[in-house]
Structure 1
Amino acid sequence: MNSHTTLFQRTFLFAALAAVFCAPLAQAREKKAPSAKAANQYPAFDTHPNEQVTIAIDPCDDQRNCDFFRLPYVRHSLIPVRVIITNDSDTALNLDQARMQFISANSDKIPAATLDDINRRLFSTNQAKGTKIPLTPITIHHTPVDKKITDDDADFGFQSTTVNPHSTVAGYLFYDVKGLDDPPLKDAEIYIKMIHTLDGKKELFAFSIPFNKWHAASTTPAK
């Protein structure tokens, strides 16, 4: 066996091993969330017949049920909740000012976590870099948001704040339930207000979607 043959074999072996070990990682990155259905196809939803708008929620309280995320949010007491909005009216809606709050059984009002909030929960702030202000002893500290968090937001968050007529949009929000009674979703709800028509002339009535509806459906034995 000459040196050229040995080099070729080694190169081939390295490529084969790389393919074996990298394939599972590639498959993990390719995982996608289930396609969004019309909001009234989910167990937990609230419909406003006069406004012709339905909003549903689909939470994930078990990491195994939402393993398409790049990071284990549930293990860090961050509950992903998919909010699905179906607009059956002839008027487009605007979500720019919408407030989507988690209301606990004890009436705690928890806003959706920002990317910075999520980053602080999952990663140590000791890794944050600082910017020194010239001629002063002051350092401004910045906590860079991990790329996996921003990628998850890009892939699974709301892609648009406009809900066109006769269409459905959906996106995942994260709620910090650390410190709440266990299980945190019991008797809790998502309260959504300040959705406007795109022209700004009308504000929709608030929506209230209890998690108990979702829980009842998820624990009902299949027939």
Structure 2
Amino acid sequence: MLAMDNVNNCLAMLLGERGNEFVEVLTSIIHIERYRCVSASLLRNICQHARPELKEADLKELSYCLRQVLEIILVADGPELDIFIGLSSEISKIAPGDFNRELDDDHIKDKFVKRLVEALNANAEPSAQCPGIRRVVLEQAITMMEHDSRYTNCFIDSRMEDALSMVEETASEAENYGLFLGDVGLMEAREPLSSLVARAKQQLAAYRSSH
């Protein structure tokens, strides 16, 4: 909870006495099922709020754990899926080349895109259990489409436009928050959900008009 949307706390963890080992420790315990959600949540917030302080060694550790993160997303559900998509989204912003290579090398690009669309369709209504899941899926999809148009084509094939229309029609005020206590929004996100939907639709429309 201390790291959630708090720049100073993220920096304190990263720059503390053992800060040079902090990211390495967190990426190593992602492989331990009991601790992996806590680890992924902390890593996500460090990537989000302390990105300028991440060293080359930290970036390498994040890239090393990326395959495990993607594999978990393909099989996870509920809050775990929410947390790990949030982490993969942040890693894809920091290291887009490594993210693309993992999807290509393991031949899971189509599976991953389909999993994101499935996550939207599975949450046809805002979920009290995972109030932020539709937001993290949209953030991940937008980052992918902005970086590489191949992903846009995959999203079109997976009927992303239908899923976006559903999100647009059922969006709730709570989904404009990025920090929750249970299902209660505590801190508004930087960008409303409606804006994310619009950006994703623009990416799909731009691809269609140019192909």
User: Is TM-score (shorter-chain normalized) higher than 0.5?
Assistant: no
Q: TM-score range by the shorter chain?
A: under 0.3
When you count strand as a share of all residues, which structure comes out higher? 1
When you count helix as a share of all residues, which structure comes out higher? 2
TM-score normalised by the chain length of structure 1 = 0.24
Larger gyration radius, structure 1 or structure 2: 1
